[in-house]
């Protein structure tokens, strides 16, 4: 029995990754200990973390100007950690409010300094990304923060804002990292919670330009300083070893299936197929502007809330789980991250067609 998990996170992992983790959980490479029992300073785990970073750098084309850090706490921890490290005294930071998580990041930044909104689509329920020529950017800002994919609202940047001189762009890429080709060098820092495209929950992966870490005030606690993770190679304390291990397996899977360019093609095909089914129906509607529709989180609705609830219940009975929309917006949401196969999308479309036939 195949169950397709459309949850926004923690999300499904590739089947091949889960099978390998199952095989190695109790006895890693014949050492007699499970992967979660290995010392983080031992030879076996050193190979795990070094290979994980190496694979990630290769897949994302990350230059030596950037550090890759594995940080506990997920992306929400990064909302404050970012501001504590990089929001320079006497300067302001620019934030784009394009969804729930961008708004949360902005709220946290204001606790540590002067943060200003350059745009917001809140009044229209975050149904689009505001056009860049409407943004009120500060050319002297200490950084610009964006959320590349808005998991709740179902929007995504198809292009990124212009990088202004001396204003590094910071991106929360939690729900679309390693799903498409980007130019890492356009960003001062990228961070992502692992539980969507990278592995299990509880960890964030941070890609940060090394020179930016020098901005950190001396008053920031050791465990919340990016320089600590850079200098100690994410091993200052015991890191989330199992999350790093699974992250490494996911990066190996990406390489095995053909790399990021191949994965992007597959992701585009999945999204196009599902949106075509929605647009071809008079029963289902997407509230998102077509130009900004996410290829990771497909948000849609039936004619009313009662049918939305029935859809979720009946879909689960048909082994299609996690389709309930976020609690703040309701409706339906199909998260089709890297690990979701086309077969899962086709199964969902088949269910949608049958549900519409019975209820229109």
Three-class secondary structure of residue 320 per DSSP: strand
Known active-site residue 172:
yes
Ranges of residues in the chain whose predicted pLDDT is under 50: none
Give Cα separations from 11 to 24, 123, 200, 247 (angstroms). Answer: 21, 29, 8, 13
Do the first three CATH levels of 15-256 and 259-359 match, i.e. the same topology?
Answer: no
What's the CATH number for 259-359?
A: 3.90.1150.10
Q: Using CA atoms, how far apart are residues 324 and 299, in angstroms rounded to an integer? A: 10
Catalytic one of 94, 97, 176, 196: 196
What's the CATH number for 15-256?
A: 3.40.640.10
Catalytic one of 94, 97, 172, 292: 172
Known active-site residue 253:
no
Catalytic one of 101, 253, 270, 292: 101
Q: Using CA atoms, how far apart are residues 222 and 229, in angstroms rounded to an integer? A: 9
Known active-site residue 89:
no
Q: What is the sign of the dihedral through the CA atoms of 263, 264, 265 and 269?
A: positive
Over the stretch 107-137, which tens digit does the pLDDT of each residue have? 999 999 999 999 999 999 999 999 999 999 9
Helix axes 43-60, 241-256, angle to 10 degrees: 50
What pLDDT was estimated at residue 234? 98
Domain boundaries, the chain: 15-256, 259-359
Give Cα separations from 315 to 185, 305, 309, 319, 331 (angstroms). Answer: 42, 15, 10, 6, 14
């Amino acid at each position: 029995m195949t169950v397709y998990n459309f949850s926004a996170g923690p999300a499904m992992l590739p089947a091949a990754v889960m099978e390998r983790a199952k095989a190695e959980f109790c006895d890693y490479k014949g050492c007699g200990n499970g992967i979660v029992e290995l010392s983080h300073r031992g030879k076996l785990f050193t190979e795990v973390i070094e290979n994980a970073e190496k694979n990630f750098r290769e897949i994302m084309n990350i230059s030596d100007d950037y550090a890759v850090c594995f940080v506990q706490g997920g992306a929400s921890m990064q909302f404050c950690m970012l501001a504590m490290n990089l929001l320079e005294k006497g300067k302001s930071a620019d934030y784009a409010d394009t969804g729930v998580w961008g708004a949360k990041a902005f709220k946290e930044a204001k606790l540590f300094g002067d943060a200003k909104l350059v745009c917001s689509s809140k009044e229209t329920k975050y149904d689009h990304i505001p056009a860049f020529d409407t943004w009120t950017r500060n050319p002297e800002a200490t950084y610009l923060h964006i959320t590349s994919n808005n998991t709740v609202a179902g929007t995504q940047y198809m292009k990124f804002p212009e990088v202004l001189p001396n204003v590094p762009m910071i991106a929360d890429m939690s729900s679309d990292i390693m799903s498409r080709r980007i130019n890492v060098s356009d960003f001062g820092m990228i961070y992502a919670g692992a539980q969507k495209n990278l592995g299990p929950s509880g960890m964030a992966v941070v890609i940060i330009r090394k020179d930016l870490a020098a901005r950190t005030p001396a008053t920031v606690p050791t465990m919340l300083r990016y320089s600590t993770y850079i200098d100690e190679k994410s091993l200052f304390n015991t890191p989330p070893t199992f999350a790093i291990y699974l992250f490494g397996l996911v990066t190996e899977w990406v390489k095995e299936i053909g790399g990021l360019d191949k994965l992007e093609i597959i992701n585009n095909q999945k999204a196009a197929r599902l949106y075509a089914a929605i647009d071809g129906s008079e029963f289902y509607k997407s509230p998102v502007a077509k130009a900004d529709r996410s290829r990771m989180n497909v948000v849609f609705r039936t004619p009313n809330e009662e049918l939305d609830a029935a859809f979720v219940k009946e879909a689960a009975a048909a082994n299609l789980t996690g389709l309930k929309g976020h609690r703040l917006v309701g409706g339906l949401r199909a998260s089709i991250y890297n690990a979701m196969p086309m077969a899962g999308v086709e199964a969902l479309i088949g269910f949608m067609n049958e549900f519409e036939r019975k209820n229109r």
